[in-house]
Structure 1
Amino acid sequence: MFIIKVIFFDTETTGLDCFTCKIIELAMLTIEDGVVIDMYDEFINVSEPISPEIIRLTGITNDMLINDGLSEEIVAQDLKERLTADTLMIAHNCQFDLQFVYSLLKRHFPNEADDIVSSLDWLDTVSVLKDRKEFPHKLIDAVKYYNIPEVNFHRAIDDTKALYEVTMAMKSERDDLGEYINIFGFNPKYGVIGKRFEFIEYKSQSFHQRIVAPEFTLPNKR
């Protein structure tokens, strides 16, 4: 399949559980044929206070959500319009962000959400990074590994910009990212966290100390 549309995306949320928590910031950097065509970054007013821990972690305050946030309904519609079939969605720890995007769509488009997310392709850069670099594997670590200027981490739009640079560096390092599409690695100690999606192949993935040979990468693991 020849993919020409790519969306780098990131979410900031009220917590870790997509069934009980919600997205408070969604950012999408859309690229078509190598050109940035859209930068989307919106707060979501979830109509409930966020915890001091989330405020500390993200720098997002209740006032920011109340004064600048859109409704979930508007953001869900924006998502639906952008997530056109065969788009490649890229996120760092994509399983987490995919779950929250799906839950948001499911609340507002219950009869369409499954078809929307299953019509897309998904790439998890954490799974790639685990085949390339030693632990740890957060986005901030990837930025350091590839000598990319640091951004304001834990703000969604800045994370998407950093993720784009990391992905380009990974592609230059070894051009096998296409093999990881719709394949997510998971820590064998914890298993797959959250909802399993039928269109994703989940594989147990251990840590490595260095870049592994192509025949031992996650896509080739049996």
Structure 2
Amino acid sequence: MREIILDTETTGFDPLTGHRIVEIGCVEAINYIPTDKQLHLYINPERDMPAEAQAVHGLSEEFLRDKPVFAEVCGEFLDFIGDSRLIIHNAEFDMRFINAELKRLGMPTLPMTRALDTVAMARRKFPGAPASLDALCRRFNIDNSNRTLHGALLDAQLLGEVYLELQGGRQPDLVLAGNRRNADGEEEGPAKVERVRRQARVHAPTAEEAEAHAAMLAQLKNPMWLAGAS
């Protein structure tokens, strides 16, 4: 099962007010395990960079000025994700920005059904506990010491490790309770094991086997189990 762990950085919070994507990070996962296939794109947003956004991800207008615009990397991005499910922390935010960029190009948007939101997944698994990426890294003892600023590829890599833990770790199907999991990684209760009923086998000796056994006993001198029979 191929999935893409995805993160973006942007110039702000709302694409409807003119904010744009400035960075995309993608990590491929096969059966929940991240592979070495990754995609990392810096994107010229064709606008200024608000100071509050730069304080989050550290990407300046000057740094992004010579980077390709979204139209130039859109094909590479879509080819990489293919038709795989997208694993995103706070999926609604990233999907809104991706779809806003696609709409600008007159291209079909991505349905929300393609995205699995790990924030919602963590909140179902740990009700009432913090569900930020940093909080989940602490919960699962994942080293995020390099995360001094938000970065799309680094955050996607960390989310890949978090997602694996949310699915149960390196062996998600090795659960002593035998619980099943649905497509969102939630436990659905004990798995039902179908047992095939077989007819009981006959263990009584045949006449030939009884005769061979008696012949063997006749060769023994004073067998102890026959001592009381005479």
Q: Scaled by the length of structure 1, what TM-score is found?
A: 0.70
The equivalences for 1:140-151 within 5 A come to 140-150=134-144, 151=146
Secondary structure of 1:172 counterpart: coil
Structure 2 residue 165 is the aligned partner of structure 1 residue 169: yes
Question: Which structure has the larger Rg?
Answer: 2
How far has the Cα of 1:126 moved from its partner? 0.3
- 2-structure distance, mates of 1:92, 1:59: 20
What is the match of residue 15 of structure 1?
Answer: 12
Q: In 1, distance between residues paired with 2:134 and 2:29? A: 22
Corresponding residue for residue 98 of structure 1:
95
CA distance in 2, matches of 1:213, 1:167: 15
Cα RMSD, aligned residues only = 2.6
Q: Structure 1 unaligned runs (5+)?
A: 182-211, 216-222
Instruction: Summarize the Cα distance change of 1:8–1:35 in structure 2 as closer, same or farther, 3 Å threshold.
Output: closer
How many residues matched?
176
Query: Does the aligned pair in 2 maintain the 1:128–1:177 contact within 8 Å?
Result: no
Secondary structure of 1:180's counterpart equals coil
Q: Which of 80, 83, 95 pairs up with 2:78?
A: 80
Q: Share of identical aligned residues, percent?
A: 23
Where 2:125 maps in the other structure, the secondary structure is: coil
Select 2:133's aligned residue among 129, 132, 139: 139
Displacement after TM superposition at 1:214 (Å): 5.5
**Aligned equivalents of 1:79, 1:91: Cα separation in 2:** 15
How far off its partner does 1:37 sit?
A: 5.1
Structure 1 residues 70 and 163 mapped into 2: Cα distance closer, same or farther (>3 Å)? Answer: same
Q: Which range is displaced more, 8-17 or 23-32? A: 23-32
* 1:208 aligned partner: none
**Equivalent runs, 1:135-214 vs 2, <5 Å:** 135-150=129-144, 151-152=146-147, 153-172=149-168, 178-180=182-184
SS in 1 for 2:54: helix
1:45 aligns with 2:38: no
Change (3 A) 1:97 1:178: farther
Counterpart secondary structure, 1:15? coil
Tell me, in whole angstroms, the C-alpha distance in 1 between the residues paired with 2:15 and 2:181: 27
Q: Distance in 1 between matches of 2:125 and 2:34?
A: 27
- 2:138 is paired with a residue of what secondary structure? helix
Partner residue of 1:54? 53
Distance across 1 between alignment mates of 2:91 and 2:64: 24
Identify the match of residue 113 of structure 1 among 108, 111, 117. Answer: 108
Give the C-alpha shift of residue 213 in structure 1: 8.2
Structure 2: which amino acid aligns with 1:12? Answer: E
TM-score by length of 2: 0.68
> 2-side partners of 1:158 and 1:45: how far apart?
19
**Residues 13, 178 of structure 1: alpha-carbon distance in 2 compared, 3 angstrom cutoff:** farther
Which sections of structure 2, spanning at least 5 residues, go unmatched? 174-179, 190-230
CA change 1:90–1:178 in 2 (3 A) is farther
